[in-house]
Amino acid sequence: MPAPITTLVAALLSALAALRARRRNAPVRAMVVSPRTSNRKRDGAVLSVQSAELTMTPPELERLWSPTNLENLGRTYWRFLSRVTLGLVRLIYGPHERLVVLVGRPLTLLRFDLPEYVLESDHGRVSWRIRDGLLVARAGRGCGFLSLDIRRLRAWSEQDAGFARAGHASAGLARVRIEVEVANFYPAIAAGFSMPVYEATQSYLHVLVTHAFLRSLSTLELAQSKVGRLAASDAPRDPARPAQL
C-alpha cells in the first residue's frame, strides 16, 4: 500500500478513537440508523446513504434551526474530514468550484460545483455536484453529487409503542434526521479494478468516516462557514411562528 494511503488510514483510526471519547459527555444523543452498506446500479453508479437521528430539547433545536446553520453544517462536514485525516485531506475553495485534495494540488480527489441549497420550514439540504477528480471514473464525470439532508421529525411521546415499557427518557424531546448521500457516483477504483475492490477500500472508509461524522454532531460544535451565503436569511422572526430553515 502506498505510503500516503497507509498514513491516511492510520490517521483515520487514531482520530476516530479520540472522537469516541469526546462523545461521552455530548449534550445531544446521535444514533446512526443506517447500515454499513452501499447500493449500486447495474451500470456501475453507486448510491450510498448514511443517516442518523439526533435527539435534543426543543429550545436547543429552535436555536440551531436556521439557514446559517445549514450552511455551517456543510462546513462542519469538510472540517471533520480534514481533522479526522490530520489535514491530509482538505477542502480548497475556488470562485466556481470546491476541490477535495490529498495533501495538495495536483492530487485532487474530487472536484465539485458550488453548493446548492434547499430551504423549507421543516427540511434543509445542501448538495455539491461532483464534476471530476482522481476518484471519479472518466465515464461518470459530472454525473454524481454529494448532499447533506436534514429533516425535523415528530417528537417522541409517552404514547409511542414500547416507550414506557423500555423506560425511555426522551419524551417531549425534539428529533431531527440527518442524511449524507452520495448518488450516481462512478468510482474510478471500480472502473479500473473491480467493484469488490472499491467496496473494500474507498467505500468502506467513506462509510466509516461518515458514521463518525454523524455521531460527532452530538457535540453541536458547528464550524463557521467561510462564505456566509445564507447569513442574510437569518432575519429576526416572531417567536410564535415556526422556525424557517
Residues of the chain with pLDDT under 50: 1, 161-167, 236-245
Q: Is the pTM of this model over 0.85?
A: no
- Residue 140, judged by CB atoms within 10 A of its CB (0-12, 13-18, 19+), counts as buried
Task: Give the single-character DSSP code of 237.
Answer: -
Enumerate domains of the chain plus CATH numbers.
3-220 (3.30.530)
What's the mean pLDDT when you consider all of the chain? 83
Rounded Cα distance, 78 and 95, in Å: 17
> Apex CA 98: angle with CA 96 and CA 100, to 5°?
155
Q: Which helix (H) or strand (E) holds 4?
A: helix 3-22
**Coil, strand, or helix at residue 109?**
strand
How high is the pLDDT of residue 166? Answer: 45
Q: Which helix (H) or strand (E) holds 91?
A: strand 89-93
Report the DSSP beta bridge partners of residue 117.
126
Distance of alpha carbon 29 from its chain centroid, rounded? Answer: 16
Rounded Cα distance, 240 and 230, in Å: 23
Q: Which helix (H) or strand (E) holds 176?
A: strand 174-185
How high is the pLDDT of residue 240? Answer: 42
**46 HSE (CA, 13 A, CB side):** 30
Q: What is the pLDDT of residues 21-59, one digit of tens each?
A: 555 555 688 899 987 777 777 788 999 999 999 999 999
CB 213 within 8 A of CB 25: no
How high is the pLDDT of residue 238? Answer: 45
Q: What is the pLDDT of residues 141-150, one digit of tens each?
A: 999 999 999 9
- Residue 214, judged by CB atoms within 10 A of its CB (0-12, 13-18, 19+), counts as buried
How high is the pLDDT of residue 243? Answer: 39
How high is the pLDDT of residue 28? Answer: 80
